[in-house]
Amino acid sequence: MQLISTVEELRQRLCGETSIAFVPTMGNLHEGHLDLVRIARQHGRCVVVSIFVNPLQFGANEDFGKYPRTLQADCGKLEGLADVVFAPTERELYPQPQQVTVEPPSANELCGAFRPGHFRGVATVVLKLLNIVQPQVAVFGKKDYQQLYVVRQVAAQLNLPVEIVGGETVRAPDGLALSSRNQYLSAAGRTKAAFLYRMLVGMQQAMLGGERDYPKLERQAVEALTARGWQVDYVAVRTQVGLAQPESGECGLVILAAARLGETRLIDNLEVCLKG
């Protein structure tokens, strides 16, 4: 496995590769990321993982400064799974202030409503990375469901020659979705955190059992989370395709939630496939 930090060296290394599968990450890798890398291996002969904490996608009061940077440990975990790790510096990826940006759809909804500019930052860095790596396939986790939607839209609407593949969320035994931000939780917070997934499962069961009053389910979920000490950003039932508010009769739905335990903001989601 090769560790590369410049665009020029990466381009030289990948020149002539015709089957590249790419996993963009911000590092601090856990089993969820490694699963995406294994999926990438099924799609390409050369697997590239990028590690870059992208300042453009963090708001002024967010955790850019304290986001865990663990390059050495990450490389250890990728040994035997990836062929190339691309870990550029900020100056390498943004040699000048980034004035050309991508404004994706749904940028101000769901997480976008609470993190202004976040999806612009994500879409912009993902487009840059896809242009640098030029993979045939890129793999993103379903844990960041809205991000996956945004990236698919960027790829489709800007005619990028890349297939976007979604990887299932990997969970701890108690159901908590694996995330680098879980480590911000206190011991008590970590125990409480599993309730987010239990709440999603409860909503999913109600919908599969025939409940179609989604606003009621959303309200009940917000109440249940709030009663347990969460500050809720949103709980929303949306269509899997387009992340739109469901109208009657839609079968492919997803429940998305974002809420804070203390300072730690967690997101999760669960797909619900209703019978037509």
CB of 121 to ligand PAF, least distance (A): 8
CB 59 to ligand PAF: min, Å: 13
Question: Helix or strand or coil: residue 2?
Answer: strand
Residue 175 Cβ, how far from ligand PAF at the closest point, in Å? 20
* Torsion angle of the four alpha carbons 131, 157, 55, 47, in this order, in degrees rounded to the nearest 10: -40
Phi/psi of residue 120, nearest 5 degrees: -60, -45
**Residue nearer to ligand PAF on the CB measure, 25 or 240:** 25
Q: Which is nearer to ligand PAF, 54 or 269 (CB)?
A: 54
For binding to ligand PAF (CB under 6 A), which residues are involved? 24-26, 54, 57, 122, 125-126, 144, 147
From 30, 33, 43, 118, the catalytic residue? 33
DSSP string, 200-237: HHHHHHHHHTT---HHHHHHHHHHHHHHTT-EEEEEEE
Closer by beta carbon to ligand PAF, 25 or else 169: 25
33 is catalytic: yes
**Inter-residue contact 27 to 53 (CB < 8 Å):** yes
Q: What's the CA gap between 124 and 100, in Å, rounded?
A: 8
The least distance separating ligand PAF from the CB of residue 224, rounded to whole angstroms, comes to: 28
- Sheet harboring 46-51: ordered strands across? 2-4, 84-86, 46-51, 20-25, 137-141, 163-167
Cα distance between residue 100 and residue 109, in whole Å: 22
Which residues are known to be catalytic?
A: 33
